[in-house]
Amino acid sequence: MNRAGGATLAEKILARAGGLERVVPGQIVEGQVDLAMMHEQGAQTVGPFHQMGATKVWDPDRVVIAIDHWVPASTEGAAVLHRILRKFAAETNLPHFYDVGRHGICHQILAENGWVVPGDLAVGTDSHTNMLGAMGAVAAGVGPTEMAAVLALGRLWLRVPPTIEVRTRGAFGKGVTAKDLVLRILGEVRTTGAQYKAVEYSGPTVRALSMPERFTICNMTTEMGAKTGMVAPDATTFDYLAKIAKHPMHPVAPDADAGYERTIDVDVDGMPPMVACPYSPDNVRPLPDVVREHVKVDQAFLGSCTNARIEDLREGAALMKGEKVAKGVRFIVSPASTKIYDECLREGIIETFTEAGAVFTNSSCSACFGGNMGILAPDEVCASSSNRNFPGRMGPKEARIYLMSPAAVVASAIRGEIADPREFL
Amino acid sequence: MQEVIEGRVWTLGRDVDTDQIISGKYLTIIDPDELKKHVFEIALPEFAKEARRGDILVAGENFGSGSSREHAPQAMRAIGVGAVVADSFARIFFRNAINLGIPAIEAPGVRAEFERGDTARIEMRTGRVTNARTGRSVPFPPLPHHLLDLLEAGGLVEKVRRELAARDRPGGAAP
Ligand code: SF4
């Protein structure tokens, strides 16, 4: 595939990673990795790493391990995974291990500690590694065998993806958030619409978003099937990273005449809050339509790498203050990292939630994936700020998960049925 | 890698995600032989018991979407799945499968051509899947050389092992 004209953000980053002047979609590039991240799934990296005959990690300063799915270990199996990782980190001298006590959801750990910087090629053993594309990087999920090769060689093959541009404009109304925007985009792009592609978010709405909001949007690019979701770096990015960047930045911007495969225009003026209904993240409807159906909620979950940052929890706490969790609802609040937990503690956010009848947990993936805690019974309904609602995601395949903004989750916990946060403002 | 892969077909729908292949509650299992008992527990419950080595999966669009868990293709490899053919794949699943040495073939339109129990014949280099019962076939773009080499080597582990061995040999190639 050949093309005249300028390069997209992903093309520029992959050209750099591959040591090439220019790359085009479809081309296979051997890319030098800037940052490799592993969570529990990394335990499965250890076997292949040894089978490859590798003994040394290519650059221990560019490897981060963060355990998050089962923290502290809730099963013997999880305890074994953690031990495998600890042992591996010790043997191969990997200093950046976010173990129990400093832990958090792996993507949040990378974000808040400045591990991924503009221009990077980052890979992680988790599909939502995409979130770090908000730094103006190509950040993608890989499996553990592939990670073993990355640890051994510091590089991997990538097919240069075509890029979809999502051009945003307009301002959010009250009670409407970045989560609603990404749900709306998902409703359009669908779960297969960006398969093998990069998604570049641009336009004044995205430019005005904070880094946490950009994380939310890039995070759910995974649900579009994309290789990566990204925002070109700007002053917001540089400010966020100013004090925390772990490595030198090498920012690039897309060319003005970049060749996009497709451009989607989204105007958020007048857009209502959105909700993804069972059983797919692209089954998106305006929240008010679902509210009218009086969907009773058994559990509410404010957590996950999509929406459990301090801004999300502050916003949730502001709604929760003076209210009570409805009878019959279990409301689980799980901050995305230990750092955020501490902030909640200092700001009185924990108390606001627990006084209202919520359970405020230690930071982890928590109820997001149905393997640790907050598992649903068949036929139960959960209002969740997370990113997936496939059958079986939170346990039994019949359980129904509705994905929405943190504010909508809190509103639903208070009402006992799916509710519109704007009624509480 | 065989040039021609033939096997008995199991069919699956569209959007079979990794939760339906191996559900979250089994993710702390590392032993592939243990994992394989739970493969497709949600999407195709009888598969784990009845599948035979060399069977071929024919799926709809977006097969393997969702998480990056390699448990999914690992369990398939442990069971001995000969190939996975789908209308389309989610990208991480596709990579994981190839890296483990499982031929993953994207052949748009293939799902509609097969029923459970049919025999599929896949010609890897020419790029054609044929249904032995109907005689009809679906073309696909053959995998790029890079990936055929990877399958040829038996997967990424073996490929990197050779590369490291060559590098560490005195006088071996620089990385
Ligand atoms: S919070 Fe959920 S989506 Fe995010 S890494 Fe954990 S399990 Fe995956």
- Please, which residues have CB within 8 angstroms of residue A346's CB and are 6 or more apart in sequence? none
CB atoms within 10 A of CB B43: 19
Ligand 1 binding pocket includes A369 (Cβ within 6 Å): yes
Given this model, what pLDDT does residue B30 score?
A: 80
Q: Is the dihedral of CA A269, A273, A278, A280 positive or negative?
A: positive
Model confidence at B71, pLDDT cuts 50, 70, 90, reads: confident
Phi first, then psi: what are they for A246, rounded to 5°? -90, -20
Average pLDDT over chain B, rounded to an integer:
90
CA distances from A412 to A283, A285, A306 (A): 19, 16, 18
Which H helix or E strand runs over A57?
none
Mutate to test the interface with A, among B68, B100, B167 (most CBs of A within 10 A): B68
Distance CA B33, CA A375 (A): 26
Is residue A272's pLDDT more than 80? Answer: yes
| A133 and A88 housed in the same domain | yes
Contact B92 A51 (CB under 8 A): no
Q: Looking at the 3D structure of chain B, how many domains does it have?
A: 1
**Contact with chain B for residue A316, Cβ under 8 A:** no
| A227 and A301 housed in the same domain | no
- Please, which residues have CB within 8 angstroms of residue A86's CB and are 6 or more apart in sequence? A97, A99
Pair A313, A345: CB distance under 8 Å: no
Which of A290, A384, A273, A275 shows the shortest CA–CA distance to A329?
Answer: A384
Average pLDDT over chain A, rounded to an integer:
96
- Determine the distance in angstroms separating the CA of A152 from the nearest CA of chain B, rounded to an integer: 8
CA distances from A212 to A112, A131, B71, B96, B103 (A): 10, 10, 31, 30, 39
Calculate how far, in angstroms, residue A388's C-alpha sits from the geometric centre of ligand 1: 9
B152 in any annotated domain? no
Ligand 1 binding pocket includes A105 (Cβ within 6 Å): yes
| A280 and A222 housed in the same domain | no
**Contact with chain A for residue B69, Cβ under 8 A:** yes
| A312 and A218 housed in the same domain | no
Pair A153, A287: CB distance under 8 Å: no
- The strand ranges marked E within A1-100 are 28-32, 35-38, 63-66, 97-98
Q: What is the mean pLDDT of residues B120-126?
A: 95
The bridge status of strand A198-202 relative to strand B83-86 is unpaired
B151 in any annotated domain? no
Q: What is the pLDDT of residues A34-72, one digit of tens each?
A: 999 999 999 999 999 999 999 999 999 999 999 999 999
Q: Give SS3 for B107.
A: coil
CA distances from A281 to A189, A191, A215, A277, A295 (A): 11, 7, 17, 7, 17
Q: What is the pLDDT of residues B34-69, one digit of tens each?
A: 989 999 988 898 999 999 999 999 999 999 987 767
Is residue B154's pLDDT more than 80? Answer: yes
Pair A117, A30: CB distance under 8 Å: no
Is residue B100's pLDDT more than 50? Answer: yes
CATH code of B122's domain: 3.20.19.10
A418 in any annotated domain? yes
- Determine the distance in angstroms separating the CA of B147 from the nearest CA of chain A, rounded to an integer: 10
Q: Atom 6 in ligand 1: which residue has the minimum CA distance?
A: A365
| A119 and A138 housed in the same domain | yes
Distance CA A366, CA A68 (A): 8
Phi first, then psi: what are they for A263, rounded to 5°? -120, 130
Is residue B170's pLDDT more than 50? Answer: yes
Ligand 1 binding pocket includes A368 (Cβ within 6 Å): yes
CATH code of A107's domain: 3.30.499.10
Pair A228, A122: CB distance under 8 Å: no
Given this model, what pLDDT does residue A394 score?
A: 95
Domain end (from A218, A235, A266): A266
| A86 and A143 housed in the same domain | yes
Given this model, what pLDDT does residue B175 score?
A: 43
Ligand 1 binding pocket includes A128 (Cβ within 6 Å): yes
Q: What is the mean pLDDT of residues A326-338?
A: 98
Q: Looking at the 3D structure of chain A, how many domains does it have?
A: 2
**CA angle, A132 as apex, A389 and A192 as ends, to 5°?**
40
A3 in any annotated domain? no
Model confidence at B168, pLDDT cuts 50, 70, 90, reads: confident
- What are A381's two structure tokens? 């309904």
| A126 and A195 housed in the same domain | yes
Q: What is the mean pLDDT of residues A202-207?
A: 98
A348 in any annotated domain? yes
Q: Which domain holds residue A64?
A: 9-266
Q: Give SS3 for A80.
A: helix
| A151 and A213 housed in the same domain | yes
Percent of chain A residues topping a pLDDT of 90: 95
Choose the weakest-confidence range: A243-257, A294-308, B78-92. Answer: B78-92
B160 in any annotated domain? no
B42 in any annotated domain? yes
Given this model, what pLDDT does residue B171 score?
A: 63
**Contact with chain A for residue B78, Cβ under 8 A:** no
CA distances from A143 to A38, A148, B96 (A): 10, 9, 6
Q: How many CA atoms lie within 13 Å of B113's alpha carbon, on the beta-carbon side?
A: 24
Calculate how far, in angstroms, residue A19's C-alpha sits from the geometric centre of ligand 1: 33
Distance CA A92, CA A106 (A): 20
Distance CA A127, CA B117 (A): 33
Q: Which domain holds residue B91?
A: 4-142
Distance CA B75, CA B30 (A): 10
- What are A408's two structure tokens? 């909508």
**Contact with chain B for residue A200, Cβ under 8 A:** no
Distance CA A183, CA A286 (A): 10
**Contact with chain B for residue A369, Cβ under 8 A:** yes
Residue of chain B whose Cα is closest to the Cα of A222: B66
| A125 and A210 housed in the same domain | yes
**Contact with chain A for residue B12, Cβ under 8 A:** no
Q: What is the mean pLDDT of residues A79-87?
A: 97
Contact A192 B160 (CB under 8 A): no
B156 in any annotated domain? no
- The strand ranges marked E within A218-370 are 228-231, 262-267, 274-276, 284-286, 299-302, 330-333, 359-360
| A140 and A227 housed in the same domain | yes
Calculate how far, in angstroms, residue A367's C-alpha sits from the geometric centre of ligand 1: 9
Percent of chain B residues topping a pLDDT of 70: 95
A72 in any annotated domain? yes
| A419 and A361 housed in the same domain | yes
Report the nearest atom of ligand 1 relative to the CA of A308.
1
